Structure 1
Amino acid sequence: MSNAEITEVRDAVADLLAARVTPEVLEAAERDGWAAGVWEPLHAGGFTTVGVPEAAGGAGGSVAEACAVLEAAGAAAAPVPLAETGLLAGRLLASAGLDLPDGPLSTAAGTVALRRGTLSGRLERVAWASAATRLVVLADDPTDGAAVALVDPAACTITLGHNLAGEPRETVVLDGIVPEAMAPAPPGAQDDLARRGALARAAQIAGAARRVLEVTVTYTGERVQFGRPVSRFPAVADHLVRIAEQAETAAMAARSAAVGAGADGEPAELDVAAAAAVASQAAGLVAAAAHQATGAMGVTREFALGVLTRRLWSWRDEWGGERAWSTRLGHTLAAVGPEELWPTLSRGVR
């Protein structure tokens, strides 16, 4: 798929969300844990399962297209489990040869125990677990190995919780649960899921960071002090430059990793590690600079900035975070040896 076609996907999702993700919708979603008016049009348009093969019940498309959807959703602060349903849970089901059920899905980085056909264990900070139609979990059997299991969340014990942005992040306890469907997990399923999770958050951070830039530039251009816009003061201009630099860096890293996966492939370890580390670092720098530039206005509820920066602060630590992925990046580069270091950096690892 060409860059122009990926841009079309991103723009289509942005247009769809523009009139639907309002301050009132975001406030209700934080209170109720769900935004049906946002989810339903995305689902009807096929955007919730982009990146999942059509043969498994998804919308088809590449990892790059799926990340384009997530970038647009991140810019809009869309309070729905787009990443969890498609790129994460949906693709995990498809990798095991299982069909997607209808509705929102969720999954988590951890594994649960599988004994005699039943699942037991505890999963922390599961996104939108109580709102999901089904949960997709990785299970480990000491005899038969890893499996992908489809679970009804109503059969689990779920403790409600939220991240800093008010998005549901819940504890799920499985106690002798019989899965609705199950199949052997492909080799490396847990690592593949972790990479997709980190890449998904990098794409969302990239989208939110670009939107932070737009909001901050607009505000500082309209806010006048001492007879001129505050954006013309050197200190504020420095903050705007920093936001622009970091937003562009995050977008380049996330898009490069997504495109590198190819039409049917998985994103490479080196690419995801770089994208996750860069985006996580950028999230903190962008949020700090934006709040410095906007002053007290930036923390008020009526201004859009806080909605975005709370997501940046939350997403940067999910599915790894800067330190974890920087460490993995270092290990990946060290493993290739000194002779291959420059060739690896200059052309990537596939």
Structure 2
Amino acid sequence: MTDSLMEAFERALAGLCTDEHVRRSESGQDADAQWNAIDALGFTDALVPVEQGGAGLSLTDAFPLFLAAGRAGLSHPFAETVFARAILASTGHAHQGECIAVAPAVPVSGDAIVCRDVPGGALAHQVLVGWRGEWLLMPRSLAQATPGTYRPQASATLRWASASQAILRMPAGSADVAAVCNAAHAAGMAGAMTRIQAMSVGYVNDRQQFGRAISQFQAMQQELSVLAEQASSATFGARLGCAADGVLPAPLLAATAKLRCCEAASRVAAIAHAVHGAIGITEALALGLFTRRLHEWRACAGTETACATLLGDALFVRHTGGGQEILDFARQQLSPAAA
């Protein structure tokens, strides 16, 4: 079922996310029209219960959709919207087709709400913010926006004056905003890395030097082997982050997924640009669209340091409290069965 879902979604994205479409949406052009076309496909309600008009899928079943969105280069926060709609549906909130980013609020003095470096935040219509044990549904139009570092016209740091501007407020309960972001971003990163791998393999097969394709040189084969290894392990890690019967990811699994994808992303981006040479940084190729995404996802929400700290703290507490060894911790806490 998941394979057929991904295939259907990928076929639709192939026409809606060409390189030119992605470039235009990244610059803010036709972004709403592109989102409306994608939302009309119905995949954005994948985690919403059937009785509320959704597909009622589990997070495990929805993972291929997140992977496909990352592979297609979709500029909008697709996975975040899927998560947000499921969370909001639990309160009976009915959406109107909005694109919804998800982000944690950073600690600041006073009543202001600040979400730093929100991927796709400038393209979203609303932002579901995790703030002081609550979910706040904030309208992006009322936020003071600072352009993002890697995608200045697609992403942004957002600031609201206070929680009184929220469209909806509700207790977060057991939902963890960091886990949601980690799972969503890891899946997007894994998808982007598979696309980068395909682009790199295609380039070295076409590029000729000394009368033969550069893919025949052993040094190039070695680099591509490392890239493939990293991209494959990132996909496995991202799938682990979405291993859940319900709609919310397990915090430790999501942190593991994001950490693995972050570690892989730096090597994948470096190898891909080395393989492509100088042409890789030009606008003529779409490579930069994907490597910029990788670096943006690495820097936002659950960073490598934050994820590693979460896992280290969990191991330390269990180790000192119950004498659990690291291999037992990984087997019992960082496996799909643990979810």
TM-score normalised to the size of structure 2? 0.87
| Residue aligned with 1:106, SS | strand
Could you tell me which residue of structure 2 aligns to residue 289 of structure 1? Answer: 271
Matching residue within 95, 103, 117 for 1:100: 95
Matching residue within 170, 178, 181 for 1:183: 170
Could you tell me which residue of structure 2 aligns to residue 304 of structure 1? Answer: 286
Greater strand share, structure number: 1
Equivalent residues of 1:34, 1:79 under 8 A apart: no
Could you tell me which residue of structure 2 aligns to residue 66 of structure 1? Answer: 62
Q: Which amino acid aligns with 2:311?
A: L
Change (3 A) 1:230 1:334: same
Residues 75-129 of structure 1 deviation map (CA, whole Å, 9 limit, x = unaligned): 1111112122112x2233235554434321223211689x9xxx74333333444
Change (3 A) 1:101 1:340: farther
CA distance in 2, matches of 1:127, 1:103: 16
Shift in Å at residue 179 of structure 1? Answer: 3.3
In the alignment, structure 1 residue 199 sits paired with structure 2 residue 193: no
CA distance in 2, matches of 1:322, 1:316: 7
TM-score normalised to the size of structure 1? 0.85
Shift in Å at residue 139 of structure 1? Answer: 4.2
Q: Which amino acid aligns with 2:324?
A: E
In the alignment, structure 1 residue 343 sits paired with structure 2 residue 302: no
Change (3 A) 1:152 1:311: closer
Equivalent residues of 2:187, 2:238 under 8 A apart: yes
Residues 264-285 of structure 1 deviation map (CA, whole Å, 9 limit, x = unaligned): 1532233222211110011110
What percentage of aligned pairs have identical amino acids? 31
In the alignment, structure 1 residue 279 sits paired with structure 2 residue 261: yes
| Residue aligned with 1:159, SS | strand
Equivalent residues of 1:291, 1:298 under 8 A apart: yes
In the alignment, structure 1 residue 75 sits paired with structure 2 residue 71: yes
Equivalent residues of 2:145, 2:156 under 8 A apart: no
Could you tell me which residue of structure 2 aligns to residue 26 of structure 1? Answer: 22
Matching residue within 117, 126, 129 for 1:134: 126
Once the two structures are overlaid, the 10-residue window that deviates more, 49-58 or 205-214, is: 49-58
In the alignment, structure 1 residue 159 sits paired with structure 2 residue 142: no
CA distance in 2, matches of 1:339, 1:139: 33
Structure 2: tracts of 5 or more residues without a match? none
CA distance in 2, matches of 1:138, 1:291: 36
CA distance in 2, matches of 1:40, 1:176: 28
Residues 290-325 of structure 1 deviation map (CA, whole Å, 9 limit, x = unaligned): 111111121121112221111111112222122221
Change (3 A) 1:312 1:135: closer
CA distance in 2, matches of 1:327, 1:74: 26
CA distance in 2, matches of 1:163, 1:73: 22
CA distance in 2, matches of 1:122, 1:314: 18
Q: Which amino acid aligns with 2:113?
A: G
| Residue aligned with 1:183, SS | strand
Shift in Å at residue 37 of structure 1? Answer: 4.2
Shift in Å at residue 227 of structure 1? Answer: 1.5
In the alignment, structure 1 residue 261 sits paired with structure 2 residue 244: yes
Matching residue within 110, 132, 142 for 2:105: 110
Could you tell me which residue of structure 2 aligns to residue 172 of structure 1? Answer: 159
CA RMSD of aligned residues (A): 2.6
CA distance in 1, matches of 2:121, 2:265: 25
Could you tell me which residue of structure 2 aligns to residue 143 of structure 1? Answer: none
- How many residues align? The count is 330
Shift in Å at residue 40 of structure 1? Answer: 2.1
Equivalent residues of 1:129, 1:168 under 8 A apart: yes
